[in-house]
Copies of this chain bind each other. A is one copy, B any other.
Amino acid sequence: MRYSRIFAKTTKSAPADADSKNAELLTKGGFINKQMAGVYNYLPLGLRVLTKIQNIIREEMNALGANEVLMPTLTQEENYAISGQDAIDILFHLTGHGGSKLVINQSHENVITPLVKTYAFSYRDLPLAVYQIQNKFRNEPRAKSGLLRGREFNMKDLYSFHATETDFKKYYETVQTAYFKVYERLGLGDRVVLTYASGGVFSRYSHEFQALCEIGEDTVYLCSKCRVAVNKEIIDEHNFCPTCQNPNLTPVKAIEVGNIFDLKTRFTDAFKFKYADESGALQPILMGCYGIGVSRLMGTLVEIFNDDKGIIWPRSVAPYALHLVAVGSDEAVLREAEQLYQQLLGSKIEVLYDDRSNASAGEKFADADLLGLPLRVVISKRTLEKGVAEFKERSASEAELIPLQNVRHEIDQRCR
């Protein structure tokens, strides 16, 4: 993509109300634009990042054998009344023609449970798992911190249905493994810890996936031996590591980037969803739900991977793999850069080409640092005179000079 053709460019200053690093850098970089507190527009570069995170999650959910669906945003308020959730504080209510009472979904338990009930009747139909990647809405009084706490935000939500506790527990653990694969692929592998949290009325515990990060609004109590933590809600009653019983827990700041719940029969009972066992007798169905905040993960990555110059995207979610910069207006430079750009397009390398004629070298370098693509390749009159291009990994401090005849090969090695 030619940078000149992307309408949303970088801006020199962040908005005065940017209250977090992710809001500041994503806004300055032209990734997102605030519509109102907790509600953002995804601009061309930002939508590419969001889509890449979604696709990584989708692949891992498909690998679990889960079916992807897309549930609606609008739902009858009565569905929430059935489960007793119609008075949830953060639920947005609205009124349809004829006075019908509607909500916009803050989560989808009250939609998926009756939906699955339409198709699953027998022990042969279980277990089954269904997920979607959808926007959620919360009438959040304290929307803040850019993409971290929103009123409209993107989530992956997975729901599973089981005949037995053993089967549920096995699946619940499989999902934990899949979640860690997701975080690993996003570059957060060594940051995310499994955190024990309150299970609510029905279960002893739920589990959160907490990304350790100084600006996080959560405090978790991390075991000095395991990669396991206990959250604030339950630390008073559970002040030792649930895995190794170590009483040495350290409070650390973190951002919640996933959570999984044992819902038992909370929703299946409410919606009278049972299965027929082999003898034809009706039996209760156990249910789990598993969330990952997709847009929140995008914000979290920026909070964790940045320096004073800008974002440092993990390769797996960078909007483009390579930032090609042509410096100056020298014809030979533009010819060489254009030729390389065309070759890279032809070989399906994801390249952002800063072809602007009205930006200085300094502006282009500053923008490349701000945008944070993994590799910057510069072609200038000076590099051409030496027969080289300048390579700089965003995460490295030093640039390298690569002979022109090796440029394609080096890019192939680094950007695939």
Q: Is A347 an interface residue (CB 8 A)?
A: no
Q: In this complex, what residue of B is CB-closest to A108?
A: B41
B44, A69: Cβ atoms closer than 8 Å: yes
Tell me, rounded to whole Å, the shortest Cβ–Cβ distance linking A105 to chain B: 10
A76, B36: Cβ atoms closer than 8 Å: yes
Bound: A308/B72 CA distance, A = 30
Q: Is A274 an interface residue (CB 8 A)?
A: no
B116, A7: Cβ atoms closer than 8 Å: yes
Q: Is A82 an interface residue (CB 8 A)?
A: no
Given contacts A9-B119, A67-B5, A119-B7, contact A41 B74 (CB under 8 A): no
Q: Is A43 an interface residue (CB 8 A)?
A: yes
User: Which of A74, A92, A358 lies at the interface centre, i.e. has the most chain B CB atoms within 10 A of its CB?
Assistant: A74
A96, B151: Cβ atoms closer than 8 Å: yes
**How many A residues have CB within 8 A of the partner chain?**
54
Bound: A152/B72 CA distance, A = 7
B44, A74: Cβ atoms closer than 8 Å: no
Given contacts A41-B111, A73-B73, A76-B36, contact A97 B30 (CB under 8 A): no
Tell me, rounded to whole Å, the shortest Cβ–Cβ distance linking A81 to chain B: 14
- Oligomeric state, in number of copies? 2
Bound: A412/B186 CA distance, A = 36
Q: Is A120 an interface residue (CB 8 A)?
A: yes
Bound: A69/B6 CA distance, A = 11
Docked complex: A34-53 residues within 8 A CB-CB of B = 35-36, 39-44, 47, 50
| Residues of B with C-beta under 8 A to A130 | 7
Given contacts A111-B35, A151-B96, contact A72 B116 (CB under 8 A): no
B41, A115: Cβ atoms closer than 8 Å: yes
Q: Pick from A136-144, A197-205, A363-371, A399-407 the stretch touching chain B.
A: A136-144
B141, A7: Cβ atoms closer than 8 Å: no
B97, A94: Cβ atoms closer than 8 Å: no
Q: In this complex, what residue of B is CB-closest to A120?
A: B7
Given contacts A67-B5, A67-B7, A115-B33, contact A74 B137 (CB under 8 A): yes
Docked complex: A118-164 residues within 8 A CB-CB of B = 118-120, 124-125, 128, 130, 135, 137, 139-141, 151-152
B65, A97: Cβ atoms closer than 8 Å: no
Bound: A120/B7 CA distance, A = 7
B47, A119: Cβ atoms closer than 8 Å: no
Given contacts A30-B119, A72-B41, A74-B152, contact A94 B96 (CB under 8 A): no
Tell me, rounded to whole Å, the shortest Cβ–Cβ distance linking A20 to chain B: 19
Q: Is A8 an interface residue (CB 8 A)?
A: yes
Tell me, rounded to whole Å, the shortest Cβ–Cβ distance linking A50 to chain B: 7
B7, A125: Cβ atoms closer than 8 Å: yes
| Residues of B with C-beta under 8 A to A316 | none
24 A-B residue pairs with CB within 8 Å: A6-B67, A7-B67, A7-B119, A7-B130, A33-B118, A35-B74, A35-B111, A36-B74, A36-B76, A40-B72, A41-B69, A41-B115, A42-B69, A44-B69, A47-B70, A72-B152, A73-B104, A74-B137, A74-B151, A92-B96, A94-B94, A97-B141, A98-B141, A104-B104
With contacts A8-B67, A44-B68 known, what are 9 further pairs, Cβ within 8 A? A7-B125, A33-B118, A36-B76, A42-B70, A44-B67, A47-B68, A73-B137, A94-B94, A96-B139
